[in-house]
């Protein structure tokens, strides 16, 4: 193998290892920065209020484990041809919240497009870093409204090195503020204000998920719609429909939609799909399919199955209000919030889980370091408790031990005395055994260490050697000279000797052996 081949192989191996390390590090980082407020785990609720001519609609929806569920719908009718007053809206929302058990739920207000000024604007690339400040400063030039008297928001349509294109929506603050004040007076705080077209676009993006989506809503002799590309609002349109002439109305609507469709190919991406939200039966607008050069889909309740609609409840779902709720619940939504005034706070990487895991690891490390010492202390404490519980028994054992030692000392003393001082009966038996049958004693005296005997024998000299070989006596000698008794014809003798201890006698016997 050449050097170049070895280098190529080493480089390939190092590159593979680096890719695997980076991939595992990315997985670990996503786990450590996982937000407890993430849509996959965090529950969230939303109530959307839709203002319409002649009434209002309320939609209550929730999200849990990434699944969005429609929990209830309420509709309230007011004076035809006019938008409901702030007082009517405040009273109705209180009633709806009570009926839907939605107290404390964040509120979104969906206002008509007719109230808003919607414009597509292009800025030079230099303003990209300070876009919110630029929009605020230029708002009175871009719209007839000064920034301090308007509620507004914008979406950046694309990110790149070229010109900055945004979709701007603004409304006079005094048109919305009475509703906010009336709701606030009833204890209801609005967290979000969006526009009809933005809510419809969010619903279309939720159904289509990606690519280009053209949507149009039809109601009460008017239409409004827009074009969404990958969730970003690209264009909008609105107008009135001819009354009492269905074919003419279909033609006007088809021309408006086709005008938007003609602008889509220039932006690239897949061909768009047209979503139609109509209050009337879809058959009334079936002619659109023949006049529009794109797939047309009429939205029915069955198309909203991903929202987990309550089974068996044939409710009339207001699509715009549902889109307004989705803007709060669905993380993929990029709708407008006019209350933000163009300030978009970037989403920070959450550190809650990281801190919790670090705390757990620190606690485990401390436990690992301390546990051996703690276990030893627990063992010592257990031994101390055992000793304390047996202290009484130990005292009794000590008493018995002392008694045993005393008895053993007594036994040892008796044994020592017995070894050093043979019993007199044994000595007398030994003397009797040693003396010849012809000899007899006239006196026997046994003291502590000595024995003295006096008596008569036919021959006194033969007695002394017998006592010398006895294991019980030593240093045997005549205490006085022997004499011959002529009358008895026997020798008179007197012998003294020392008593041999038992231990000494056994030792002497062993030496003899």
Claim to verify: residue 62 and residue 150 sit in the same structural domain: yes
Quick one: tokens of 223?
């239409």
- What is the arrangement of strands in the sheet containing 473-485, beginning at the earlier edge strand? 440-446, 450-457, 490-499, 473-485
Claim to verify: residue 312 and residue 388 sit in the same structural domain: no
Cβ neighbors of 363 (< 8 A, separation 6 or more) are none
Q: How many residues does the chain have?
A: 513
Residue recorded with tokens 């101390």:
384
Claim to verify: residue 151 and residue 45 sit in the same structural domain: yes
Q: Tell me what pLDDT residue 258 has.
A: 84
Q: Tell me what pLDDT residue 268 has.
A: 57
Residue 239 forms part of a structural domain? yes
Residue 55 forms part of a structural domain? yes
Alpha helices in 73-151 (DSSP H): 86-100, 131-142
Residue 22 forms part of a structural domain? no
Residue 190 forms part of a structural domain? yes
Claim to verify: residue 207 and residue 124 sit in the same structural domain: yes
Alpha helices in 33-106 (DSSP H): 86-100
| Element holding 495 (H helix, E strand) | strand 490-499
User: Are residues 135 and 336 in contact, defined by beta-carbon separation less than 8 angstroms?
Assistant: no
Q: Tell me what pLDDT residue 398 has.
A: 87
Largest alpha-carbon pair distance within the chain? 189
Domain final residue, candidates 350, 371, 395: 350
Which residue range forms the structural domain that includes residue 374? 363-415
DSSP for 147-195, please give it.
GGGEEEEEEE---SSS-EEEEEEEEEHHHHHHHHHHHHHTT--EEEEEE
Claim to verify: residue 198 and residue 158 sit in the same structural domain: yes
Claim to verify: residue 127 and residue 156 sit in the same structural domain: yes
Claim to verify: residue 310 and residue 444 sit in the same structural domain: no
Claim to verify: residue 376 and residue 303 sit in the same structural domain: no
pTM for the predicted model, two decimal places? 0.62
Quick one: tokens of 482?
């022997």
Residue 240 forms part of a structural domain? yes
Residues of the chain with pLDDT under 50: 311-312, 503, 506-507, 512-513
Claim to verify: residue 375 and residue 342 sit in the same structural domain: no
- The tally of domains found in the chain comes to 3
Residue 392 forms part of a structural domain? yes
Residue 20 forms part of a structural domain? no
What are 70's strand-pairing partners? Answer: 61
Q: Tell me what pLDDT residue 311 has.
A: 45
Q: Tell me what pLDDT residue 342 has.
A: 82
Q: Tell me what pLDDT residue 488 has.
A: 83
- CATH number of 476's domain: 3.30.70.2830
Q: Tell me what pLDDT residue 23 has.
A: 82
Quick one: tokens of 261?
């469709």
How far apart are alpha carbons 109 and 439 in whole angstroms? 148
Claim to verify: residue 339 and residue 486 sit in the same structural domain: no
Tell me: the pLDDT tens digits for 181-201?
999 999 999 999 999 888 888
How far apart are alpha carbons 424 and 440 in whole angstroms? 18
Claim to verify: residue 372 and residue 495 sit in the same structural domain: no
Q: Tell me what pLDDT residue 194 has.
A: 93
Residue 370 forms part of a structural domain? yes
- CATH number of 300's domain: 3.30.420.380
Quick one: tokens of 484?
């011959």
Claim to verify: residue 205 and residue 258 sit in the same structural domain: yes
Alpha helices in 232-351 (DSSP H): 246-263, 288-291, 319-329
The angle subtended at Cα 493 by Cα 489 and Cα 497, nearest 5°, is 155
What are 239's strand-pairing partners? Answer: 223
């Amino acid at each position: 193998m050449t050097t170049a081949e070895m280098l190529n192989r080493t480089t390939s191996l190092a590159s593979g290892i680096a890719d695997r390390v980076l991939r595992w590090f990315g997985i670990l980082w996503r786990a450590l920065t996982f937000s407890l407020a993430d849509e996959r785990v965090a529950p969230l609720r939303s109530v959307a209020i839709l203002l319409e001519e002649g009434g209002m609609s309320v939609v209550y929806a929730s999200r849990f484990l990434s699944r969005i569920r429609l929990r209830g719908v309420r509709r309230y009718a007011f004076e035809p041809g006019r938008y409901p007053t702030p007082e009517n809206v405040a009273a109705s929302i209180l009633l709806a919240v009570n009926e839907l058990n939605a107290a404390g739920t964040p509120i979104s207000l969906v206002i008509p497009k007719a109230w808003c000024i919607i414009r597509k604007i292009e800025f030079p690339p230099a303003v990209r870093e300070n876009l919110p400040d630029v929009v605020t400063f230029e708002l009175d030039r871009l719209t007839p409204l000064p920034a301090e008297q308007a509620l507004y928001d914008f979406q950046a349509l694309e990110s790149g090195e070229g010109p900055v294109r945004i979709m701007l929506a603004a409304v006079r603050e005094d048109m919305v503020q009475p509703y906010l004040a009336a709701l606030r007076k009833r204890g209801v705080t609005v967290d979000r204000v969006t526009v009809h077209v933005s809510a419809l676009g969010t619903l279309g993006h939720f159904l289509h998920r990606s690519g280009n989506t053209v949507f149009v809503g039809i109601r009460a002799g008017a239409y409004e719609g827009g074009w969404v590309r990958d969730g970003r609002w690209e264009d909008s349109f609105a107008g009135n429909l001819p009354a009492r002439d269905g074919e003419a109305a279909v033609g006007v609507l088809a021309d408006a939609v086709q005008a938007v469709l003609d602008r889509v190919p220039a932006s690239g991406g897949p061909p768009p799909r047209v979503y139609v939200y109509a209050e009337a039966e879809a058959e009334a607008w079936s002619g659109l399919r023949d006049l529009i050069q794109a797939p047309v889909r009429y939205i029915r309740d069955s198309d909203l199955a991903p929202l987990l609609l309550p089974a068996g409840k044939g409710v009339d779902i207001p699509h715009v209000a549902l889109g307004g709720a989705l803007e709060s619940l669905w993380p993929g939504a990029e709708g407008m919030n006019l209350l933000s005034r163009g300030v978009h706070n970037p989403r920070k990487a959450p550190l809650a889980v990281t801190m919790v895991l670090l705390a757990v690891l620190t606690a485990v490390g401390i436990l690992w370091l301390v546990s051996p010492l703690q276990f030893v202390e627990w063992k010592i404490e257990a031994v101390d408790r055992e000793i304390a519980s047996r202290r009484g028994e130990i005292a009794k054992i000590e008493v018995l031990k002392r008694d045993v030692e005393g008895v053993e000392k007594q036994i040892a003393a008796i044994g020592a005395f017995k070894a050093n001082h043979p019993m007199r009966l044994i000595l007398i038996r030994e003397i009797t055994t040693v003396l010849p049958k012809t000899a007899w004693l006239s006196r026997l005296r046994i003291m502590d260490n000595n024995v003295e005997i006096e008596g008569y024998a036919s021959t006194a000299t033969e007695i002394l050697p017998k006592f010398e070989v006895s294991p019980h006596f030593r240093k045997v000698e005549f205490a006085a000279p022997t004499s011959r008794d002529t009358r008895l014809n026997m020798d008179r003798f007197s012998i003294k000797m020392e008593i041999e201890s038992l231990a000494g006698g056994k030792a002497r016997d062993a030496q003899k052996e």
